[in-house]
Amino acid sequence: MAVYTHVDAEEISKFLASYDEGEVLSFKGIAEGVENSNYILQTTKASYILTLYEKRVNPDDLPFFLGLMDHLVHKGRLCATPVRDREGIILKTLCGRPAALISFLSGLSINKPEPEHCYQLGVEMAQMHIAASDFNLKRKNALSVEGWEELVRQCENRADEVAHGLKDLLHDEMAFLKSNWPTNLPEAIIHADLFPDNVFFRGDKLSGLIDYYFACNDILAYDIAICLNAWCFEGDGSFNITKAARLVQGYGVERSLSSQEIIAMSVLCRGAAFRFLLSRLYDWLNQVDGALVKVKDPTEYINKLKFHQSVNNVSEYGFSL
Amino acid sequence: MAVYTHVDAEEISKFLASYDEGEVLSFKGIAEGVENSNYILQTTKASYILTLYEKRVNPDDLPFFLGLMDHLVHKGRLCATPVRDREGIILKTLCGRPAALISFLSGLSINKPEPEHCYQLGVEMAQMHIAASDFNLKRKNALSVEGWEELVRQCENRADEVAHGLKDLLHDEMAFLKSNWPTNLPEAIIHADLFPDNVFFRGDKLSGLIDYYFACNDILAYDIAICLNAWCFEGDGSFNITKAARLVQGYGVERSLSSQEIIAMSVLCRGAAFRFLLSRLYDWLNQVDGALVKVKDPTEYINKLKFHQSVNNVSEYGFSL
């Protein structure tokens, strides 16, 4: 939870004056997002999210992220809309930070997803993949194989502080993934961070995907692998094959998976678990005193990685060729 | 900024089902309030603040606080309304905490108040004092003379860590206030925490007073003294007599101050400065590692106290008998 940059009443009123979105009714910082400062803005016209992009976001990537959201909305996807000011500009500056006003997407993120939620997630993710495929900008995934190698270098010497044997695990897995990472699977734009807190439901119906700030060009099935990690493990660490099967089934309604994509799923799941293990490990080892964000436990992803290492056949995920 | 208790989608939906306030559209923790957890809840009917009362609030005081807000709204004051569930109940339980759903009050708190804001504050404060005067519950001010003595005892040994000579200052001021605290001034219910962040404006018009969680029975003019401290000092530490004069003038439109109340103002201002000095000092000396709230600097109130000690005549505040 975080508001890093404080925007006061005078500043938000002046900022809003450049838009045709009514007068300010209320403006409150929200305890959401670990990368940016987010506010709920209510005007005489509607509700919005105002985001100020903080240091962990590269400003050069913002035209990609915001342009992608704009593209997805125009394609009819369930995505928040970046709002244009009177001059048609989306990416603005506020309090010295890049900033954007985004339409408010209703819905709640679900803490304990059921198989039906996973099914709807699969359907919407595939529709998003298809809708994004003709977006005209590209962005390399900074957190794929090369990025992992860099994180391993930065964390290896202190990895065993977190778990005994973790340094060896990192080295062995890095070597495995480098040799086995698929190179022949369909690629396009993926979300790359579709955790339950980035998926909204109204009642039991999916109402939107948010937080496109890790979106990039990568293997489409890798987005599924991230979701299998984030949605299909239970609190006790067990893997729920019913949820996994429904997620993949939902995806298949909109976009058929090839046998190559299905066969590669355990390697992709290992990569996804490794990616979140590494970023959490890095944050864990580099905690800042007085930080407003609670650092997530990396050991959850050690356990998930070990599960995927043990998988010999995709049927163990609940689906098949 | 703080959300201490996490309420998930299932819990808020179930909670809202006991009200006749529509279905959940969105629910977000807000980075406001240092004592409680606050969420913005939007339903198909309206917007609300959901507050979960945390450890620093005594649950026995909640019927007073919520009843007072309800009373003020019925008297037409600019105050958020506690919402009743289908059984007419205001004070509920959620996630093991006392909780209440409160109507959403639009407006923004002003960072740099102008004299006109102070005038409107004076008018509304006096109207609130009059409206609250026939509320049927009472609450003693836990942070008046006796409470200050307790805080002095808890802080004195480490006070000089914050500022050289602070221990002596605390003792001398405590002795002065104990001997000189007025006993013959009109008392009724006061807000007791009317800082700028608890006063909302829409455009330049005052739209509401919030956060009644320090309200109590005490000297009415003490509420003015708190505001003179919180609204009338400039960033450089100087006292702005124009703002003070307008604040008192606005108050006088609705409720005439007696000469005794005006003469007592410098003692009341010393008491108010001392109260916030002590609570900030206590929080400063008892900071919790990993706390989500930024502790406020107590030295600001050392300087304010010293200013009031130097005042010989109320004309130095910008007003007169």
For the stretch A196-228, pLDDT in tens is: 999 999 999 999 999 999 999 999 999 999 999
Q: Which strand (E) or helix (H) includes residue B108?
A: strand B108-109
Contact B11, B29 (CB under 8 A): no
Quick check: B34 pLDDT over 80?
A: no
3-state secondary structure of A26: strand
pLDDT of the residue at B296: 84
Chain A residues within 8 angstroms (CB to CB) of chain B: 1-3, 8-10, 12-13, 23-32, 40, 42, 47, 104-112, 200-203, 292
Quick check: B290 pLDDT over 80?
A: no
pLDDT of the residue at A294: 67
Q: What is the mean pLDDT of residues A167-176?
A: 98
3-state secondary structure of B25: strand
Indicate the fold that domain A9-103 takes in CATH: Phosphorylase Kinase; domain 1 (3.30.200)
Closest-CA distance, B111 to chain A, in angstroms, reads: 6
Quick check: A321 pLDDT over 90?
A: no
CB contact under 8 A, B104 and A23: no
**Confidence label for B31 from pLDDT (cuts 50, 70 and 90):** confident
Q: How many CB pairs under 8 A join A and B?
A: 95
Residue appearing with tokens 């090369």: A146
pLDDT of the residue at A56: 83
Burial A245-263 (b: 16+ CB within 10 A, else e): bbbbbbbeeebebeeebbe
**Confidence label for B1 from pLDDT (cuts 50, 70 and 90):** very low
- Per-residue pLDDT tens digits for A54-97: 988 899 999 999 999 999 999 999 999 999 999 999 999 999 99
Count of other CB atoms within 10 angstroms of residue B287: 12
* DSSP structural state of residue A239: B
Quick check: B291 pLDDT over 70?
A: no
Cα A105 from Cα A47, distance rounded (Å) = 9
**Confidence label for B289 from pLDDT (cuts 50, 70 and 90):** low
CATH topology agreement for domains A9-103 and A109-317: no
Quick check: A40 pLDDT over 60?
A: yes
Q: What's the Cα-to-Cα distance from B281 to each of A8, A138, B56, B247, rounded to whole Å?
A: 26, 53, 16, 28
* DSSP structural state of residue A233: B
**From A196, which residue of chain B is nearest by alpha-carbon distance?**
B9
The angle that helices A166-180 and A265-285 make with each other, rounded to 10 degrees, is 140
Closest-CA distance, A29 to chain B, in angstroms, reads: 5
- Per-residue pLDDT tens digits for A106-156: 999 998 999 999 999 999 999 999 999 999 999 999 999 999 999 999 999
Supply B205's token pair. Answer: 């018009």
Chain B residues whose CB is inside 8 A of the A103 CB are: none
CB contact under 8 A, A1 and B31: yes
Chain A residues whose CB is inside 8 A of the B48 CB are: none
Cα A48 from Cα A51, distance rounded (Å) = 10
Quick check: A18 pLDDT over 80?
A: yes
* Sequence spans of domains, chain A: 9-103, 109-317
Q: What is the mean pLDDT of residues B75-86?
A: 97
CB contact under 8 A, A25 and B112: no
pLDDT of the residue at A293: 60
Contact B253, B123 (CB under 8 A): yes
Quick check: B110 pLDDT over 90?
A: yes
pLDDT of the residue at A4: 82
Closest partner CB to B108 (pick from A3, A9, A200) = A9
Residue appearing with tokens 């007025």: B182
CB contact under 8 A, A30 and B29: yes
Residue appearing with tokens 């099967």: A245
Closest-CA distance, A68 to chain B, in angstroms, reads: 24
pLDDT of the residue at A1: 44
Residue appearing with tokens 């309304």: B81
Contact A36, A213 (CB under 8 A): yes
Quick check: B264 pLDDT over 60?
A: yes
**CA A319, chain centre distance (Å):** 24
Closest partner CB to A3 (pick from B1, B27, B28) = B1
Quick check: B140 pLDDT over 80?
A: yes
Residue appearing with tokens 């603005």: A92
pLDDT of the residue at A22: 96
CB contact under 8 A, B1 and A28: no
pLDDT of the residue at A259: 96
CB contact under 8 A, A106 and B203: no
In CATH, what number does B109-317 get?
3.90.1200.10
Mutate to test the interface with A, among B40, B117, B200 (most CBs of A within 10 A): B40
Closest-CA distance, A94 to chain B, in angstroms, reads: 17
Cα A88 from Cα A111, distance rounded (Å) = 37
